[in-house]
Amino acid sequence: MPTTTRSSIPEHVAIIMDGNGRWAKQRGLPRVMGHRRGVEAVRETVRAAGDCGISYLTLFAFSSENWRRPESEVSDLMGLLKAFIRRDLAELHRENVRVRIIGDRQGLKTDIRSLLEEAEQMTVGNTKLTLVIAFNYGSRDEIARATASIARDVAEGRLSADAITPDTISARLDTSGMPDPDLIIRTSGEERLSNFLLWQAAYSEFLFVPEYWPDFDRQRFFSAIEQYATRDRRFGALAEQVAVAGA
């Protein structure tokens, strides 16, 4: 991990896409319309991220807590993800985008699970941008699953408890092999992480923007990247060391 760096283009941007419901309510529309417009914002953001040379874009599409919503809304969200994969997979593949899914797949229906697996398999060799879709994702759940897998290895003698380091844990998370997010954006003015990438966000920069997710677009994405570029990241070191490193 670098100790100091002046940020420029982030390698990994993660987004909590919030405010679809409020966007719809403001217009007297059903919530599902907000989610539908949210998919348009997803498309535009994926293109913008690819265009500015970002390597990883993670989108929080469905949290492990979202099952608490009315059944019809849960079903709308599942349907929108399926439609997105069916309609956009070929273009994503053409654009050299790799798709990865994080979250607990065991809790998903077989049809959606196979679609997600198909998207991952088809795009596994792509190298321009990795689009990470967090679906049925909750950070505490992810950490608990990683811990259980470590505990099994310790119990069965494959791993010594003394050999467990932060890297051991990172390698068991769904995000294994990905860089931690440099920038986490949340739309809609809410300022919290909501169980998103808790471990991975240790040194992330945060940006909370007032727009509802359906209004998020290319311009707003670029503006977020510009704001990120003004941040000094110290990774626990001192500001003086940043100045020396940058001299």
Nearest-CA neighbor of 140 among 104, 98, 179, 87?
Answer: 104
DSSP 216: -
Query: By C-beta, is 84 or 242 nearer to ligand FPP?
Result: 84
d(CA 48, CA 119): 20
d(CA 124, CA 97): 9
Asked if 1 and 202 count as a contact pair (C-beta separation under 8 A), the reply is: no
Query: By C-beta, is 18 or 205 nearer to ligand FPP?
Result: 18
Element (H, E) at 158: none
What residues numbered 166-225 form the site for ligand FPP, per CB under 6 A?
213
Residue nearest ligand FPP, Cβ-based:
21
> Which position among 10, 21, 50, 181 is part of the footprint of ligand FPP (CB under 6 A)?
21
Extract the tokens encoding 87. 């309609």
Q: Are strands 183-186 and 205-208 parallel, antiparallel or unpaired?
A: parallel
Least Å distance, CB 112 to ligand FPP, is 12
Using the contact rule CB under 6 A, the part of the chain among 78-86, 120-128, 143-151, 222-230 near ligand FPP is 78-86
> Which position among 14, 15, 17, 108 is part of the footprint of ligand FPP (CB under 6 A)?
17
Q: Is 38 in the site for ligand FPP (CB under 6 A)?
A: yes
What residues numbered 90-149 form the site for ligand FPP, per CB under 6 A?
133
d(CA 137, CA 150): 20
In the residue annotation, 66 being an active-site residue is answered as yes
The pair phi, psi for residue 206, each rounded to 5°, is: -115, 140
Q: Which one is catalytic: 66, 126, 195, 217?
A: 66
Asked if 89 and 58 count as a contact pair (C-beta separation under 8 A), the reply is: no
Active site residues: 18, 66
Query: Which residues contact ligand FPP by CB under 6 A?
Result: 17-22, 35, 38-39, 42, 59, 61, 66, 77, 80-81, 84, 133, 213
